[in-house]
Structure 1
Amino acid sequence: MNYNKKRWLILIASCLINLCIGSLYAWSVLSVPMAEHLSQITGMKLTARDLSIVFVIANAVGPITMITGGTINDTLGPKLAVLIGGIMFGGGMFLSGYANSVNFLIGTYSLLLGLGLGMVYGATISTSIKFFPDKRGLVGGLTTATFGISSVIIPPIAAMIISTTGVTSAFKIIGAVFTVIICLGAFFMEKCPADFVPEGYTPPSAGKQAAINKNWKEMLQTPVFYVMIVLLTCGAFAALMFIPMASPLAQNIVGMSVVSATAAVSTLALFNVLGRILAGSISDKIGRINTLALACVMSVIGLIMLYFCNKGDVVLFYIAISVIGICFGAFMGVFPGFTADQFGPKNNSVNYGIMFIGFALAGTVGPIILNKIFAATGSYKNAFLTAMVISLAGLGLTFVYRSLHKSKTA
């Protein structure tokens, strides 16, 4: 079989599947009407803030199935992993349309959907990277970018369905349609043969390749793993601190209207996607660690701009969130290939699933710190300073990585 051509079909299927599972981010549109719906059912006054735990847990559980699903992907192949994960994801979305309490939503949206997402996301990215050893950065950028662009495309579609048929129908329709698309896409997925080499690509020598194909236990025994996972946490921290609160931030800091703040959220999402593609491609040319170091520096610059934003500084605010969005996208686009480069492609499904815990940690702790700082000071300014320090720590870790890598190859 000619995998030189077929690998592009597998990449396209992976991107389409990731676009579907990115509908997790339709939560920003679904949460308000769902809170109203549950308030009517329960007789309790619930708000979108009361339901925020649903989204937080859905984000946090992904690494669990990225790791367990990675084992299925590496042994039985991505077709089965995507099928199981797709049914879980779509089923969780569909069943959420029958929710009659917050706990019900936690069971369906947070756990079933969130765990299904992790299994699918890990399988599509890892499989694509294995088929493209010659373009790991670009492919990592494309597969994560289509997941990210969903946050721009799906919410308006969800809002249109809600306005026409109601929020419970929106969950059911999105869940049913995406279950079908993901499961059909699964049949295009194939396990990459161990001996596959793309035309025109010269792989590392057999001895060197064997030396870097570490399993998860071997990976955890290397100091560089701990540097990398903390680096990922630092790099993702600033954006994940602000993304869930982007609209309130825009209104609070520069006095934007609700409509203008929504446009700011879309801008952040678009530059996040742009960062994934650009940085992934650039990292193939200048190196992963150089790209990540540059992203850390740019993140600090963006945060300084945010710190000096005041009422009416709309242009400065837009520039700041665009820069932060690009930097976040850089980490998301580069890290799948970076992990494969460091520990080998053979076990990358499980290895990247473990590495992704760094992302989940940033997404869980970031918003908590932001809210605590705002509650204590009545301002977001100190949160920007905190994020700057963490981004600078990330920059420092890029030098630690270089030192470890140099001593390893010396």
Structure 2
Amino acid sequence: MTNAATAQVQAPSNGYRWMQLIIGVVCMGMIANLQYGWTYFVSPMAKAHSWDVGSIQVAFSIFVALETWLTPLQGWIVDTLGPNRGPKLMVAAGGVFVALGWLINAWAGSLEMLYVGAIVSGIGAGGIYATCVGNAVKWFPDRRGLAVGLTAAGFGAGAAVTVIPIQMMIASIGYSDTFFWFALGQGGIIFVLAWLLRSPQPGEVPSGSAVKVLQSRNSSTPGQMLASPIFWLLYVMFVLVSASGLMVAAQIALIAKDYGVSQTVILFGASTLIVAGVIDNLANGGARPFFGWVSDQIGREYTMAIAFTAGGIAYWLLGTAGTTPWTFVICAALIFFTWGEIFSLFPSTCTDMFGPKYATTNTSLLYTAKGLSAFVVPLANLLKAYTGNWYAVFAVAAVMNFIVVAMALFVVRPMRISISASENKAAVEHAHPAE
């Protein structure tokens, strides 16, 4: 490559990649309500149509499944279209699908139509999620945990600013019109911002050589990654932690109602549920860059151990001590703070292990674990109905988190150390072949 060509490739400033990151964060924030705002629509829909809550929650599971399971294909499309066209076209199309999905929800007169809306919005959200996370790990090899954490924070905390407007609009104009106006607003913003996105060209990003965590010297293809046992260990860990968090995210309004605290006014005229909704989304979003940054400093597995141990304790506390308004708010916030970081830790760990070249597709393949975990959510309703309370649900969630801590420390980390040692040995032998 000529010096002129090299200069052209390296032209974007450090500020440009931060601009790309910010656009990704905003786009993620615009799809946050599809998951984290859902809980506020469940009871109004059940009341308006006499639908069973468990049947309505099937739509939530469908959304999460489609939002995750198609991301490998969507990531492959982005990579195939290239760094300039791929991100733009995928996110723009995602904005259209997101808007259309909630418009269908607004007009749905049957559960079947509600499920169609979940399918459409899930496809759109997945394309946006895969593209924005893929861009983050590519633009920031030197701060991968932080960058992915900030991107994922948009998805986790984006709903925080709309918790109150959504509940106020549902109360004043009904859930259907609320779906309608948020569909147009969120989808429109995504569609406009999409045309500013692109992925980096070779030579545009800093070297990741100064990082403090284990990183592979090689980039594995999706096929090579799927053949690796450590990928499937990460997959199982992701399913366990994701399922525990989704059970609470989808049911938080119902849990507060069963505890008898949802409508209790506790702060500036706001009810327990509204205060919890704001704080939970902030905690969920804040956890992602915080633990992502921590993992850049001390390593992914040690960070997982700290976060998921605290998470297991938080689930137990919500089941035993969360039955008053303020303890409910605090315990729920602790759960979201120790759950949200999976969306920064697991993509970072995956890219550390399998390299950045195919990162969009590889991280998307791991992200499909969230789709599998979504189908645990209705089981929480069944367990609650069988036992008559939420305690057993939280006990199961706590155990799931403790299992993941043990896997991270005593299985995954030793395997990664062994793999890194083998790569270093091979590199030395290649550089100094035996005479």
TM-score, structure 1 normalization: 0.89
Other-structure match for 2:73: 68
CA gap of 1:157–1:80, structure 2 versus 1, over 3 A, is same
- 8 Å Cα contact 2:63/2:121 also seen in 1: yes
Shift of 1:49: 4.5
Residue number among 310, 323, 346 corresponding to 1:335 in the alignment = 346
Within-5 A mapping of 1:2-401? 2-24=12-34, 25-37=36-48, 39=49, 45-46=50-51, 48-76=53-81, 77-107=86-116, 109-163=117-171, 165-198=173-206, 201=207, 203=209, 211-253=217-259, 255-258=260-263, 259-309=271-321, 311-312=323-324, 314-365=325-376, 367-398=377-408, 399-401=410-412
CA gap of 1:13–1:116, structure 2 versus 1, over 3 A, is same
CA gap of 1:137–1:323, structure 2 versus 1, over 3 A, is same
- 8 Å Cα contact 1:234/1:362 also seen in 2: yes
Shift of 1:211: 5.0
The unaligned stretches of length 5 or more in structure 1 are: 40-44
- Which amino acid is the alignment partner of residue 284 of structure 1? D
Question: SS at 1:303's partner residue?
Answer: helix
CA gap of 1:303–1:21, structure 2 versus 1, over 3 A, is closer
Other-structure match for 1:42: none
Question: SS at 1:144's partner residue?
Answer: helix
- Which amino acid is the alignment partner of residue 335 of structure 2? I
Shift of 1:310: 6.7
Shift of 1:222: 0.8
Shift of 1:110: 0.8
Distance of 2:178 and 2:254 partners within structure 1:
25
Shift of 1:35: 4.3
- 8 Å Cα contact 1:94/1:171 also seen in 2: yes
Shift of 1:227: 1.1
Which structure: greater helix fraction?
A: 1
Shift of 1:36: 4.9
Q: Give per-residue Cα distances to partners, 1:298-351, cap 9 Å, x unaligned.
A: 112213323432754x55444432222111012122222222111111211111
- 8 Å Cα contact 1:65/1:116 also seen in 2: no
Q: Decide which moves more: 167-176 or 64-73.
A: 167-176
- 8 Å Cα contact 1:21/1:117 also seen in 2: yes
Q: Give per-residue Cα distances to partners, 1:189-247, cap 9 Å, x unaligned.
A: 0121133333xx45489xx9995211211101111101111111222232222222223
What is the percent sequence identity of the aligned residues? 28
- 8 Å Cα contact 2:39/2:249 also seen in 1: no
CA gap of 1:102–1:261, structure 2 versus 1, over 3 A, is same
- Which amino acid is the alignment partner of residue 365 of structure 2? I
Question: SS at 1:212's partner residue?
Answer: coil
Distance of 2:208 and 2:120 partners within structure 1:
42
Q: CA RMSD in A?
A: 2.4
Deviant stretches of 4+, over 6 Å = none
Shift of 1:401: 0.3
Distance of 1:233 and 1:82 partners within structure 2:
26
Distance of 2:42 and 2:326 partners within structure 1:
29
Question: SS at 1:328's partner residue?
Answer: coil
- Which amino acid is the alignment partner of residue 136 of structure 2? S
Distance of 1:250 and 1:163 partners within structure 2:
18
- 8 Å Cα contact 1:62/1:115 also seen in 2: yes
CA gap of 1:162–1:262, structure 2 versus 1, over 3 A, is closer
TM-score, structure 2 normalization: 0.84
The unaligned stretches of length 5 or more in structure 2 are: 1-10, 264-270, 422-435
Shift of 1:128: 1.9
Shift of 1:395: 0.9
- 8 Å Cα contact 1:72/1:80 also seen in 2: no
Distance of 1:250 and 1:164 partners within structure 2:
22
Question: SS at 2:158's partner residue?
Answer: helix
